[in-house]
Structure 1
Amino acid sequence: MAPSRDNLSAVLHKARDLRLEQKELPEPGPQDVVIRIHKVGICGSDVYYWHRGRTARFVVQSPMVLGHEAAGVVETVGSQVTHLRPGDRVAIEPGVPCRLCPICKAGRYNVCPAVQFCATPPVDGTLTRLYRHPADFCYKLPDHVSLEEGALLEPLTVAVYGCQRAGVGLGSRVLVCGAGPIGVVSLLTARALAAARVCVTDISPSRLEFATGQGADGTVLIDGASEEELAGRVVAALGGPPTAILECCGAAPSVRMALQAAAPRAKLAFVGRGPPDMDLPMVTITAKELEINGVFRYANCYPLALDLVASGRVQLGPLVTHRFTLEESESAFQAALDGRGIKIMISVHD
């Protein structure tokens, strides 16, 4: 097939100003590949950029291509690339660090001060027909792993890292706060890592019903009850206080409830993005010797995430509830903002 000369892209100029535009055709550097993007999942950060023009400290100040949960087919390779070739199906790890600083060399490249992350201002993302990326941050997919699953490796990798930071392992009693896409993949990952029981909380009955179908041992609806009462419901659902907590919604009452429910010396991983400041029960944290860990994206987790999917231990297919084309990107972002389904997928190439 002749290379496409079409590089239609979803470009965000400011909040609620998303335009389909032709971008310059990329050429690979010596260590890069050019990928024909096929599938891009919509992340919560993408929705914030589209709806508000910012997320956390990152603000859209110039036109930017959205999207970072992506998979596609290699079209061309750089002269020094040896592990990939045209036609290979790959998942894209969207954060590229400097690789040279002490933080990178210690293996913590996700917090490298110079990291460039797709669709984080001013770096363009992957909602584009053709995309250039460093080859060492692309992962070849086995034949039985779909391109949609390849795109979903990105949120799955967030869950893998979150589980690591929360100490999830054999016999853990795990509390997952929030049943959105990251909460659900955190549930799936905790089950794959041999957690004894997993309880999921949310304000949405339909999302909790979905979590039950994905293997949650118990669910707790956040229904206006006191934090103490909700903590008691969590402990009852788990058959004991949680030893590992994945906080995936970022709401301060949810965090306080989880800390009240927590077992002594439990670990809590902050996966969700909440307000910049938060009141926490320091006496409870101190008395229980609780460990609170931040989670910023992930590092060295893509191979494990891919193995979980390739081995069948994690099934990602049911997460995709709505599908749109690149030309329907505006409708896709509106659907995500409205909270429709679990995961929304955009087909850039069918």
Structure 2
Amino acid sequence: MAVGSPSQQPAVGKDQSNLSFILNKPHHVTFQERPVPSLASPHDVLVAVNYTGICGSDVHYYDHGAIGHFVVKDPMVLGHESAGTVVQVGSAVKTLRAGDRVALEPGYPCRRCGPCLAGHYNLCPEMVFAATPPHHGTLTGFWSAPADFCYKLPDAVSLREGALIEPLAVAVHIVRQANVVPGHSVVVMGAGPVGLLCAAVARAFGASVVASVDILQSKLDMARELAATHTYLSRRVSAEENAASVRDLIGLPDGADVVIDASGAEPSIQTSLHVVRMGGTYVQGGMGKNDITFPIMALCLKEVTAKGSFRYGPGDYKLAIDLVATGKVNVKKLISEVVSFDEAEAAFKKVKEGKVIKILIAGPNEKLEKL
């Protein structure tokens, strides 16, 4: 074999499937056998996918066939929150070998543009991201990716936990954007999976007060179990009234050091700017409508530092894995159910209906065991 060339063909058994869960158009999905991907580069690895979580963006594609200007024009494999087992490595790969269990970072950049060279590869305009048109996702038997975007899991982290590293890395990035430090007070608007994980990461970073806000008591119950010191059930009142109630709840009449919106909902965003203190930090992590009514006077008069947050960047995945391995964040609490591959569509419907916090779909070659 020539130096630098891809390695031999994958050692995939004849009885192993590359069955894939494909979105053809909104609410129309099929299962289809696809060719096992080959290694496009000597720096790539082939991974047998063991578990995949369902993200809100996956459900949005399933429901609408598009997110913003990303439109599903051709059949697309869904899924991007995955963990698996390496089955083949390229000839230039030094960090992984067959049999290693890995969390998959589902997007990889060009590595050459301005954002990439500045250390912000998540902003790369040429990003190849799983289950974002026109790129296929990870709800399949085998997935090929650059080795440096596959993170070896320590023995203390299971493959099921590994599938939750992706949303945890999103939360890590958000909390790092907020520069949370020990002693901070943090309010997290929204207690979906990312909001729950933001609360958990903020606690792990040393925040002394972590308040979760949501419209559903069941989600707040989980927030309290996972990390929150306070929870607030949002009421159908003005943003200013809800904000005053949150400040009263946490005992900080001047507001919180950091407020994170993980919902993308307009009332939540409006409340956030009335909760944050003078000179505090506000981070927008949740995505919603393109245009909303925004309390710009509150932002200006308080001299709030406002930041956006998009996916994850350098170091976020490694830190997320370390938080799970050391027991600082218990992602297992978020797993409501694990289902077989042929139950994928039913799992999507459960997520859409809000019946689960996080559901995992076992890969088509995975022998499923109960939780």
TM range (shorter): over 0.9
Which portions of structure 1, spanning 4 or more consecutive aligned residues, are displaced by more than 2 angstroms?
1-5
Task: Spell out the pairing of 1:25-44 with structure 2 (5 A cutoff).
Answer: 25-28=36-39, 29-44=41-56
Q: Aligned partners of 1:248, 1:83: CA distance in 2, in Å?
A: 34
What's 1:97 paired with? 109
Does structure 2 retain, via aligned residues, the 8 Å contact 1:98–1:104?
A: yes
Amino acid at match of 2:93: V
Decide whether the 8 Å contact of 1:217 with 1:237 is kept in 2. no
Residue in structure 1 matched with residue 29 of structure 2 by the alignment: 18
Q: Alpha carbons of 1:2 and 1:273: their partners in 2 closer, same or farther (altered >3 Å)?
A: closer
Write out per-residue CA displacement over residues 219-247 of structure 1, whole angstroms, 9 at most, x where no aligned residue: 11112122122101211222211111110
Aligned to 1:244: 258
1:3 aligns with 2:13: yes
Among 182, 205, 208, the alignment partner of 2:220 is 208
CA distance, structure 1, for counterparts of residue 152 and residue 135 of structure 2: 24
Q: Alpha-carbon deviation of 1:324? A: 1.4
2:286 equivalent among 255, 272, 276: 272
1:135-182 CA distances to partner (integer Å, 9 max, x unpaired)?
A: 110000011200011110000000000001122111111010001101
In 2, the alpha carbon distance for the partners of 1:112 and 1:244 equals: 27
Residue in structure 2 matching 1:143, options 133, 137, 155: 155
Q: Deviations over 1:7-55 (max 9, x none)?
A: 1000111111111000111112311111000010000000000111112
- 2:248 & 2:229 partners in 1: Cα distance? 11
CA RMSD of superposed structures (Å): 1.1
Distance 2:359 2:26 in 1: 20
Instruction: Report percent identity of matched pairs.
Output: 43
Aligned match of 1:339: 354
Aligned to 1:125, the other structure's residue is in SS state: coil
Q: Does 1:325 align with 2:340?
A: yes
- 190-199 or 27-36, which deviates more: 27-36
CA contact (8 A) 2:23 2:62 kept: yes
Aligned residue identity for 2:290: P
Task: Report the number of matched residues.
Answer: 350
Of 267, 270, 283, which aligns to 2:297?
283
Q: Specify the alignment match of 2:322 in structure 1.
A: 307
After superposition, the C-alpha distances for 1:265-324 in whole angstroms (9 at most, x for unaligned) are 111111111110111111111110011111111101111111111111111101000221
> Which amino acid in 2 is paired with 1:31?
H
Contact kept in structure 2, 1:95 and 1:115, CA below 8 Å: yes
Q: 2:60·2:66 contact (CA, 8 Å) conserved in 1?
A: yes
Q: TM-score, normalised by structure 2?
A: 0.92
Work out the CA distance in 2 between the residues paired with 1:159 and 1:56. 22
Distance in 2 between residues matched to 1:193 and 1:178, nearest whole Å: 19
Q: Is the 8 A contact 1:220 1:230 kept in 2?
A: no
Residue type at the aligned position of 2:128? Q
Q: Given residue 301 of structure 2, which amino acid in structure 1 is its aligned partner? A: A
Q: 1:2 Cα shift?
A: 5.7
Q: Which moved more, 1:245-254 or 1:232-241?
A: 232-241
Residue 275 of structure 2 corresponds to 261
1:167-246 mapped onto 2 (5 Å cutoff):
167-240=179-252, 241-246=255-260
Stretches of structure 2 that go unaligned for 5 or more consecutive residues are 1-10
- Rounded Cα–Cα distance in structure 2 between residues aligned with 1:64 and 1:37: 17
Aligned to 2:78: 66
* 2:308 alignment counterpart: 294
Deviations 1:112-133 (A, max 9, x none): 1101111100101100011111
SS in 2 for 1:263: strand
* Aligned counterparts of 2:323 and 2:211: Cα–Cα separation in 1: 21
Structure 1 residue matching 2:93: 3-state secondary structure: coil
Q: Which secondary structure does the structure 2 equivalent of 1:164 belong to? A: helix
Name the SS of the counterpart of 1:340 in structure 2.
coil
